Structure 1
Amino acid sequence: MSKKKSKSSSNWLKEHFNDKYVKLSLKNNLRSRSWFKLQQIDYKYSLFKKNMNIIDLGSAPGGWSNYAINRIGSKSEIIACDILPMNPILGVKFIQGDLRKYSTLKSIHQSIKGKKINFIMSDISPNISGNLIIDSLKSTNLCELVLQISIKFLDKHGFILIKSFHGTEFESLIKKIKLIFFEVKIHKPDASRSRSREIFILAKNKKNN
């Protein structure tokens, strides 16, 4: 490893373990600091209600699913999916698979069993290359995949929360979301690092496309 990469890694580790939300997640035995991002968005927009059915995409290690199941109650259901493994959470059905593959989407469909899906949330991130244009395109492609899934599975009065990255493709993505949903909001919670380009899109009320 070069001295430059070594220094960069050292700086990242120092920033990570000095992070307020990393410390809080460790103190409270949470799966990840992403718990606080969802919590803050929930406080602002009142995302969760009892007895909702939710799909959590890009769920590993389980921070969002863990937060959500505590908010919606044991009679609800969360179907979580990630290409990476995830330790079990009571009340959450986990499917490990690649969302770009038909077999994974088929497994999600079979797990729904005709239930109304009220909320689809996605904390998916692409593998970051460091090239802003490439990373923006990768992020947008994943967001568009989530949009296609929402068209297929989301109830008419349901809503989605998608993590994206502010970049060259962002405005184009927002236009596509507005073609599908009547109401679109953009939000960056305090728990999202200020230097991070991640941003969250909340969309409600599907149009009759």
Structure 2
Amino acid sequence: MKRTKTSKQWMTEHVNDAWVQRAKLEGYRSRAAFKLTEIDQKDRLLSKGQVVVELGAAPGSWTQVVVKKVMPGGCVIALDLLDFAPIEGVEFIQGDFTEDAVLQEIEKRLHGRQVDLVLSDMAPNISGIATIDQGRAEHLWELALDFSQQHLVSGGNMLVKVFQGSGFEGFRKAMGAVFKQVHVRKPAASRDRSSEVFLLGLEKRD
């Protein structure tokens, strides 16, 4: 298939991207590692011994960051539709988070333990129709929030990737009903032109 002008431009930017080059140099699977690293440095989300559930984990760069911080003694359960190369200490589930069977599998792997931190980097497959894509994205945010409400320890935290647009303010308010603090984070490794931001919910309410 012939590449479009837009895809060629993206590839050129990607290859020349300083974050991509740094990720290769430091052994991370993608530039996204630095998004989580920056937020963690600011908000101190990760620590030894934590139980962490990561939704939308592939290709595994966030997972690499998490494992370094919570091991030894921690528990990391990662989920994605796509498979990725194994990471020592990580329990990986390949499946669709919108399906009840997948949720039940996560709960099974938890063995009754509550979760200290929920990370969600989930995003829907893009159709190109803005209203449909935003609606699908919002559904994933809501599922991640519902999971957090059900499984986080009191005082636990959640970090979720969202896209600014319709539904953003409503979802931020919904997070405010679950967490004592809600912050917007835009790490330096996020592309400026992207509507991607991260909502951070701190201290889950009792």
TM-score (norm 2): 0.95
In the alignment, is residue 66 of structure 1 matched against residue 64 of structure 2? Answer: yes
Aligned equivalent of 2:134, options 119, 133, 136: 136
Deviation at 1:141, TM superposition (A): 1.1
Q: Which runs of 5+ in 1 are unaligned?
A: none
CA deviation map 1:58-115 (0-9, x unaligned): 0011111110110112210100011111211111100111111111011100100122
Per-residue CA deviations over 1:8-30 (Å, capped at 9, x if unaligned) read: 11011011111111111112221
Task: State the aligned residue count.
Answer: 206
Alignment check: 8 A CA contact 1:150 1:160 kept: yes
CA distance in 1, matches of 2:172, 2:139: 13
In structure 2, the residue matched to 1:51 is 49
Deviation at residue 195 of structure 1 after TM alignment: 0.5
Q: Percent identity?
A: 38
Note the C-alpha offset of 1:57: 0.4
Aligned to 1:207: 205
Structure 2: distance between partners of 1:67 and 1:17: 22
> Runs of 5+ in structure 2 lacking a partner?
none
Superposition RMSD on alpha carbons, in Å?
1.3
Contact 1:79–1:94 (CA<8 Å) still a contact in 2? yes
Identify the residue that residue 24 of structure 2 maps to in structure 1.
26
Matching residue of 2:95: 97
TM-score by length of 1: 0.94
Cα distance, 1:206 vs. partner? Answer: 2.2
CA distance in 2, matches of 1:194, 1:129: 22
Whole-angstrom distance in 2 between the partners of 1:200 and 1:192: 10
Q: Is the 8 A contact 1:133 1:167 kept in 2?
A: no
Which aligned pairs between 1:76-95 and structure 2 lie closer than 5 A? Answer: 76-95=74-93
Does the 8 Å contact 1:132/1:167 carry over to 2? no
Residues 57 and 124, structure 1, Cα contact 8 Å, conserved in 2: yes
Q: Is the 8 A contact 2:28 2:61 kept in 1?
A: yes
Residue matched to 1:112: 110
Displacement, 1:157? 1.4
Amino acid at match of 2:80: D
Instruction: Provide the C-alpha distance between the structure 2 equivalents of 1:166 and 1:62, rounded to a whole number of angstroms.
Output: 24
